[in-house]
Amino acid sequence: LSERLGGVFDRLTKAGALSAEDVTAALREVRVALLEADVSLPVARDFVKRVQGKATGAAVTKSVTPGQQVVKIVHDELIATLRGDEDPGKLKIDNPPAPILMVGLQGSGKTTTTAKLARRLKEREHKRVLMASLDTNRPAAMEQLAILGGQIGVDTLPIVKGESAVQIARRAKSQATMGGYDVYLLDTAGRLHIDEVLMDEVQAVRDAVSPRETLLVVDGLTGQDAVNVATEFEGKVGITGVVLTRMDGDGRGGAALSMRAVTGKPIRFVGLGEKTDALETFEAERVAGRILGMGDIVALVEKAQQTLEAEQAERMMKRFQKGQFNMNDLKSQLEQMLKMGGMQSVMGMMPGMAKMSKQAEAAGFDDTMLKRQIALIQSMTKKERANPALLQASRKKRIAAGAGLEVSELNKLLKMQRQMADVMKKMGKGGMLKQAMKSMF
């Protein structure tokens, strides 16, 4: 695949920004890669379409081809899609006893995952855990859970013949309450395919215990079918998260993207083997790399971007040394701060600047403020940015109004730029700047 991609990329012309043709050509290969990774067709199609819009017009880093750049954008977007806002490893299990419902098709790995999760909760979070099998169709499945419980030292609800799934669920609930358990896991019966009887039963169990978490267990090797399973369970039962099993196999794990896209629910864990300790918290980066299978290209583009950033920083330092510090420089600094999420920027690391950055912090210099100041600079013309002294009162008013701010804000910004330029000049003369640079790079 890499070879084929290489071919396409070579044919692409080098340019400053990605053209629609560049993007289309590279995305054709990306689409194939996604399908080869077993991402479902509609999900792959939607994903590619979304990236198309984002990538067109994006800047191409020097020394990488447009095609490589597209792969990097795809990779980043894949991570963003796979990763939810929530911490995947953190289940909502306060207010004991918290019921967790495990659902999915037969053979997906529900019983195994139930035991894995019980072990994790016991060992890592020191929870008192109770497990119960609701698989009334297969006595062997109940035995299986009891045996696993014995292995990991987690209690299982005693088996009572002739009970319905709902009856077992109710008994688990009262046992968990009376026995002082923190969590109880309900391992439901699966079917080979989705059917009404299964869904009705799972719904009844859900209504009987109101689970805090309902985890859909899906075989990570299932491809196109994963979407149907996810849609059904999400629609009929409602799930709070997904566990992908058999991620220790050869599959590329495209089901992860399909599940996430279709349900919008976080992927919480991945199963990496048959043993009860083979469960890991879902990591978007790892799975994204595996789905795309273009790790080399992503690494290459990241390296090129880092090199470029270092070059830019050096160029800027040369200007500073000459005592040049205009609004463009200030804008870069503000953007850098925004990116680094605070005042720990280039400026903050330089002697003489540290104090100023502390003052700025004390003055409520937060993200909103940074964004406002950047907006102010953006409203200036090229000439004004290069030489802010040109700004007349009337222009100041217009610029401030354009950014929806008071003129006093703009004056503050101008003062800041003048102070910075002063410091740069002084430092440049004393050779301090060179020293500061050395300590930074």
Phi, psi of 271 (to 5 degrees): -90, 130
Distances from the Cα of 293 to the Cαs of 27, 50, 221, 252, in angstroms? Answer: 14, 20, 16, 8
The secondary structure of residue 269, as a DSSP letter, is E
Q: What is the DSSP string of 148-198?
A: HHHHHT-EEPPP-TT--HHHHHHHHHHHHHHTT-SEEEEE----SS--HHH
Among 251, 271, 289, 428, binds ligand GDP (CB under 6 A): 271
Spell out, one character per residue from 154 to 193, where the chain touches ligand GDP: x when CB under 6 A holds, - when not. Answer: ------------------------------------x---
103 touches Mg ion (CB under 5 A):
no
C-alpha–C-alpha distance, residues 23 and 293, integer Å: 18
Of 113 and 357, the one with the shorter C-beta distance to ligand GDP is 113
Least Å distance, CB 143 to Mg ion, is: 11
Q: 173 and 186 in contact (C-beta within 8 Å)?
A: no
**246 carries a ligand binding annotation:** yes
H-run or E-run covering 330: helix 327-340
**257 carries a ligand binding annotation:** no
342 touches ligand GDP (CB under 6 A):
no
123 touches ligand GDP (CB under 6 A):
no
253 touches ligand GDP (CB under 6 A):
no
112 touches ligand GDP (CB under 6 A):
yes
Least Å distance, CB 198 to ligand GDP, is: 12
137 touches ligand GDP (CB under 6 A):
no
**176 carries a ligand binding annotation:** no
113 residue type, one letter: T
57 touches ligand GDP (CB under 6 A):
no
- The greatest distance separating any two alpha carbons of the chain, rounded to the nearest whole angstrom, comes to 90
Q: Is 62 left (phi over 0), alpha (psi -120 to 50) or beta?
A: beta
Least Å distance, CB 91 to ligand GDP, is: 18
Of 273 and 323, the one with the shorter C-beta distance to ligand GDP is 273
Q: What ranges in 237-294 are assigned the alpha helix state H?
A: 255-263, 284-292
Q: 169 and 209 in contact (C-beta within 8 Å)?
A: yes
Least Å distance, CB 185 to ligand GDP, is: 12
Least Å distance, CB 253 to ligand GDP, is: 12
Binding site for Mg ion (CB under 5 A): 110-111, 141
Binding site for ligand GDP (CB under 6 A): 104, 106-112, 190, 245-246, 248, 271-274, 278
Binding residues for GTP: 104-111, 187-191, 245-248
